Amino acid sequence: MKQTLSGHSPSAGTAGAMRHGWTLVELLIVITLVGSISVLATGMLIRLSAAQRTAFEAAQQQGTLARLDLTFRRDVHQAETVEMLPDDKTPGLRLTIFDGSQVRYLFTQHILQRIQKPVNGPGRYEEFPLPARNVTFEVGDRQVHLKLTLDRGQTRTLSAVRGTLMQTVPQPVPAQAAPTQTGTTQAAPDQTAPAQAGTTEGERP
C-alpha cells in the first residue's frame, strides 16, 4: 500500500480545498441581495427624476405666471378702453391702447394667447402655457381682473387699473406767439460820426 510523503491521504486535501469555495446556497443569497439593491436604487432614481421634473415644471409655471402678470398689467395700464369679446366658448378680452393699437387675450386649451395689432407694422403673437382649467375676465369701471382656475382647484387673480400710464403721458404744449410791443418806439441814435468844426489845412484861405 502506497503512502504520500506528507502523511495525508488525497481525499483529505480535496475536502479541505472544497471548504474554501462558494456553495450554491451562498451564490443564490448573493444574487438575491444584489437584485434587491438594484431594484431599490432604480426606484430611488425614478423618484428623484420625477421630483426634479416636477420642480422644473413648477418653476417654469411660476415664471410664466410672473411674465403674464407683468404683461397684463402693462397692457391694462396703457388701455384707453377695455371690453369683453362676445364669444362665450372662448373667453377673451380686447384692449384699445391710447396710441390706437389693439391687444386681444384668448384662452384655448391651457394656453392664453396674446395678439397685438399695432397701427402700423406687423402684429405680435405670444403664448402663455398655464396649468389652468378655466380663465375668466371681469371688467369694471377702472379695475380689470383676470381669474385663473388652476388644475388643483386653486384660483389666482391678476388685477390692474385701466389707463394708469395713459394719464402720465405728457401732452404737447401749444406754442405761444411772441408778445408784440405797444406804444411808441424811440428813434435810434445817429451812429454817424459828428462833423468836425473848422477847415482843414488844404482849405485855408
Going by C-alpha positions, the residue among 150, 154, 105 that lies closest to residue 125 is: 105
Angle at 10 between CA 5 and CA 16, to 5 degrees: 115
Tell me what pLDDT residue 103 has. 94
Residue pair 106/92 in contact (Cβ under 8 Å)? The answer is yes
3-state secondary structure of 108: strand
Tell me what pLDDT residue 91 has. 82
3-state secondary structure of 160: strand
Residue pair 137/145 in contact (Cβ under 8 Å)? The answer is yes
CA dihedral (24, 25, 26, 29) in degrees, to 10, reads 120
The alpha carbons of the chain give a radius of gyration, in whole angstroms, of: 47
Tell me what pLDDT residue 102 has. 93
Per-residue pLDDT of the chain (205 residues; tens, 9 = 90+): 444 445 555 555 555 555 567 788 888 999 999 999 999 999 999 999 999 998 998 898 889 989 999 999 999 999 999 998 887 677 899 999 988 899 999 998 889 999 999 988 888 999 999 888 888 899 988 899 999 888 777 888 999 988 776 544 444 445 554 555 544 444 444 444 444 444 444 444 4
